[in-house]
Amino acid sequence: MFVSKKLLSRTAAGMAAAGVLALAAALSPASAQESVKIGLILPMTGGQASTGKQIDNAIKLYMQQHGDTVAGKKIEVILKDDAALPDNTKRLAQELIVNDKVNVIAGFGVTPAALAAAPLATQGKIPEVVMAAGTSIITERSPYIVRTSFTLAQSSTIIADWAVKNGIKKVATLTSDYAPGNDALNFFKEHFTAGGGEIVEEVKVPLANPDFAPFLQRMKDAKPDAMFVFVPAGQGGNFMKQYAERGLDKSGIKVIGPGDVTDDDLLNNMGDAVLGTVTAHIYSAAHPSAMNKEFVAAYKKAFGSRPGFMAVSGYDGINLIYEALKKTGGKTEGDALVEAMKGMKWESPRGPISIDPETRDIVQNVYIRKVEKADGELYNVEFQTFEAVKDSGKTKK
Ligand code: PHB
């Protein structure tokens, strides 16, 4: 086949030009792109997969409801599964920042994952929106971290004070043996013993695939008035099953704690042993606001299940990113976005919330709730509200 020299050189020039363009695009800063990229790192497999599923669902729902364009920019979510393993989180965050040039990293199903990404957020100067993890120290690890979930201190102090006021004198504790479990235990203990309560047994259970049975026997033998329990989202169903099998409900040892153990996502399948469980928490699917009723109905319709507190934390997290982008007029520079997020206030399905401008942590209502049956379904029914609770677990400076 005859190909003219002229055509050959034209093609070569075209290819070279295309190459230059591709290189320029690869090197151009994220802020010059027309889309805003969010690197969403969640546990979609493994023991914490229900957290990943809830957050991913809630973000999809939010984007269906609000569209995928903000301040003239298209929002692109890149989902990565870290299976809640911090080495994976770190590698994925690095790839998302360096290769995909994301403007925000978000998600983080467990504390070790949120902590593993913190130095990368600082180096990359990009916001890290924590949508699940709950250890107080997290927001202190990078000036680019903003949290829309909760802290264990927020709920554990409140349930401790409630226990003291309600005649609970002896408590046995069962907590998951990692950072948020230790926060839950320490903040509960501090408040409960200051109010005159006594801890009669203290057990810590492994985070991965815990078998609660041997620990539950120790709880039973200690004959407490109640047991204080923290297990992360996703483990409450298994815990309650073993609690009932060991007959702790029959021996009158009630469960109290932060509301992770009675997550609405799993509550309906926990059986009647869970009735009467009193927890302090940030969200109930039964929260009686118009906005929440709409949220629960839309989530159920889209995914066929009830949203829990992780879903709400994800829904609020993506809202925070959208609203910050509106405030910056679509500017994606990390410092500008974090600045825009500070002090933001809005109504969430959980109630009124805001971002503390000093700590970048969430300020929210904490509700005391009791598991009750309504229309054949189990719900965490709120009966007392503590308004605008800040995290009390920060390092004292
Ligand atoms: C956490 O790892 O920080 C964490 C995970 C799930 C929870 C609470 C805290 O339910």
Residue 17: per-residue pLDDT: 47
Q: Which atom of ligand 1 is nearest to the CA of 233?
A: 10
| DSSP code of residue 396 | P
Does residue 326 sit in helix, strand or coil? helix
Interatomic CA distance for residues 193 and 169, integer angstroms = 9
Looking at every residue in the chain, the average pLDDT score rounds to 93
Interatomic CA distance for residues 130 and 355, integer angstroms = 12
Residue 187: per-residue pLDDT: 98
Residue 396: per-residue pLDDT: 58
Q: Is the CB of 133 under 6 A from ligand 1?
A: yes
Residue 313: per-residue pLDDT: 98
Does residue 182 sit in helix, strand or coil? helix
pLDDT confidence bin for 155, thresholds 50/70/90: very high
Residue 240: per-residue pLDDT: 97
Residue pair 113/135 in contact by the 8 Å Cβ criterion = no
Amino acid identity of 72? Answer: G
pLDDT digits (tens, 9 = 90+) for 236-265: 999 999 999 999 999 999 999 999 999 999
pLDDT at 292 over 60: yes
Residue 1: per-residue pLDDT: 39
Q: Which atom of ligand 1 is nearest to the CA of 84?
A: 2
Interatomic CA distance for residues 42 and 185, integer angstroms = 25
Rounded to the nearest 10°, the torsion over CA 288, 291, 297, 298 is -160
Q: Is the CB of 103 under 6 A from ligand 1?
A: no
Q: Which residues of 216-247 are buried (b: 16+ CB within 10 A; e: fewer)?
A: beebbebebbbbbbbbbbbbbbbbbbbbbebe
Residue 34: per-residue pLDDT: 84
Q: Is the CB of 128 under 6 A from ligand 1?
A: no
Residue 262: per-residue pLDDT: 98
Closest-CA residue to 58 (of 131, 5, 114): 131
Which residue's alpha carbon is at the smallest distance from atom 7 of ligand 1? 232
Share of the chain above pLDDT 70, in %: 91
Q: Is the CB of 257 under 6 A from ligand 1?
A: no
pLDDT digits (tens, 9 = 90+) for 303-319: 999 999 999 999 999 99
Residue pair 240/276 in contact by the 8 Å Cβ criterion = no
- Tell me how far the alpha carbon of residue 51 lies from the centroid of ligand 1, in angstroms: 9
pLDDT at 390 over 90: yes
pLDDT digits (tens, 9 = 90+) for 205-216: 999 999 999 999
Q: Is the CB of 135 under 6 A from ligand 1?
A: yes
Q: Is the CB of 263 under 6 A from ligand 1?
A: no
Does residue 248 sit in helix, strand or coil? coil
Residue in 41, 55, 260 to alter for ligand 1 test, most ligand atoms within 8 A of Cβ: 260
Rounded to the nearest 10°, the torsion over CA 278, 282, 287, 289 is 150
- The neighbouring-strand residues paired with 37 are 76
Q: Is the CB of 233 under 6 A from ligand 1?
A: yes
Residue 185: per-residue pLDDT: 98
Interatomic CA distance for residues 189 and 265, integer angstroms = 28
Token duo for residue 85: 């393993």
Q: Is the CB of 142 under 6 A from ligand 1?
A: no
Interatomic CA distance for residues 136 and 171, integer angstroms = 24
Other Cβ atoms within 10 Å of 24 Cβ, number: 10
Which residue's alpha carbon is at the smallest distance from atom 3 of ligand 1? 133
pLDDT at 30 over 50: no
Amino acid identity of 244? Answer: A
- Tell me how far the alpha carbon of residue 12 lies from the centroid of ligand 1, in angstroms: 56
Q: Is the CB of 134 under 6 A from ligand 1?
A: yes
Q: Which atom of ligand 1 is nearest to the CA of 135?
A: 3
pLDDT at 225 over 80: yes
Q: Which atom of ligand 1 is nearest to the CA of 260?
A: 10
Interatomic CA distance for residues 323 and 318, integer angstroms = 9
Token duo for residue 22: 């591709």
Q: Is the CB of 260 under 6 A from ligand 1?
A: yes
- Tell me how far the alpha carbon of residue 251 lies from the centroid of ligand 1, in angstroms: 29
Least confident among 29-33, 37-41, 130-134, 185-189: 29-33
pLDDT at 157 over 80: yes
Closest-CA residue to 54 (of 289, 214, 212, 265): 265
Q: Is the CB of 50 under 6 A from ligand 1?
A: no
Does residue 210 sit in helix, strand or coil? coil
E-assigned strands of 17-87?
A: 35-42, 69-70, 73-81
Mean pLDDT of the 271-287 span: 97
Specify burial of residue 175 (Cβ count, 10 A radius: 0-12, 13-18, 19+). Answer: buried
Q: Using alpha carbons only, what angle is made at residue 141 by residues 135 and 142, rounded to the nearest 5 degrees?
A: 130
Mean pLDDT of the 346-370 span: 98
Which sign does the torsion angle of CA 378, 156, 315, 120 carry? negative
